[in-house]
Amino acid sequence: RLSIKTALGENAYVWNDNEMFLFRATLAFAMTKQFDGQVSDIIVCNQTARVSFWFVVTYPHNKTLVDKQVVERAVRKSRNRINSAFLLSDTTLEFIGIPPTLATPVNPSTPTWLIVFGVVMGAVCAGIIVVLVVSLVQRKRKKNETNEDTQVKTVENGAARDGVYYMSFSEDESSVTQM
């Protein structure tokens, strides 16, 4: 079954006897590869406007029909060549009963997502380490400074840290004379 318009759209060619001849020739080619150089006969019948038809293959010397399995194997082997002869693909040139062998999926050794994950994780960990180091350095510097200014610490600061700060009494500060 051929779906020419679906495959080619504007560039679709018209299906006529010439094309049919090409089909028979291509199939004969596929069978020849099976039988080593002996050309068999391809008989076509029941053509429809859909562009679908039945075909049978006969042995080269006598008129007996070739087995379906043999034909299937031949078609499978040369599927690519048959498809490209008609500028079609596995889905637009269908052989009913012969499912296409699908291509093996590409499986890279490291899945891609793991790579991106590694990049992002590395960046974030680097960020954390940087921040931690910076704050450690800052803290050390401050400790060195405060060791020198311990005398400067006023009593007021100490009191504010030890007590609980009640908001409601904050207005009273204005009544205390400023030093």
Partner 1 sequence: MEKGARPNWDNPMQFLLACISYAVGLGNVWRFPYLCQMHGGGGFLIPYLLMLFLEGMPLFYLELAIGQRMRLGSIGAWTAISPYLGGVGLAGVVTSLYLCLYYNIINAWSFWYLFHSFQSALPWADCPINSNRTGPVEECEMATPTQYFFYRETLDISSSIEENGDIHTGQALCLLLAWVITYLFIIRGIKSTGKVVYFTATFPYVVLFIYLIRGITLHGAINGVKYMFTPKMEQLANPTTWINAATQIFFSLGLGFGSLIAFASYNQYNNNIEFQAIIVSLINSGTSIFASFVTFAIYGFKATINYENCLERTRLLLLNAFNLAEDSVTIDSVFEWIEKLNTTYPQQFDIIANKLENCDLESELNTAVEGTGLAFIVYSEAIKYMPLPQLWSVLYFIMLLLLGLGSMLGNITAIITPLQDFKVASRMSNELFSGLVCLFCLLLGLGFTTSSGNYWFTMFNDYGATLSLLVVVLIEVITVSYIYGIKRFEKDIEDMLGHRPNWYWKIMWAGTSPLLLIVLLISYIINYIQGGAPTYQAWNIELVSVGFISSPL
φ, ψ of residue 40 to 5 degrees: the values are -100, 175
Task: Return the range that interacts with partner 1 (CB under 8 A); candidates 20-28, 35-43, 75-83, 125-133.
Answer: 125-133
Task: Compare residues 28 and 76 and give the one whose CB is closer to partner 1.
Answer: 76
Among 99, 137, 140, 141, binds partner 1 (CB under 8 A): 99
Q: In whole angstroms, how close is the CB of 70 to partner 1 at the nearest point?
A: 20
Count of CA atoms in the C-beta half-sphere (13 A) of 15: 17
Question: What are the φ/ψ torsions at residue 115 (nearest 5 degrees)?
Answer: -65, -50
Which of 36, 105, 148, 173 binds partner 1 (CB under 8 A)? It is 105
Count helices and strands in the chain by DSSP H and E runs: 6, 2
Subset of 131-160 contacting partner 1 (CB under 8 A): 131-132, 135, 139, 157, 160
Q: Does 120 bind partner 1 (CB under 8 A)?
A: yes
Other beta carbons less than 10 A from residue 26's beta carbon: 19
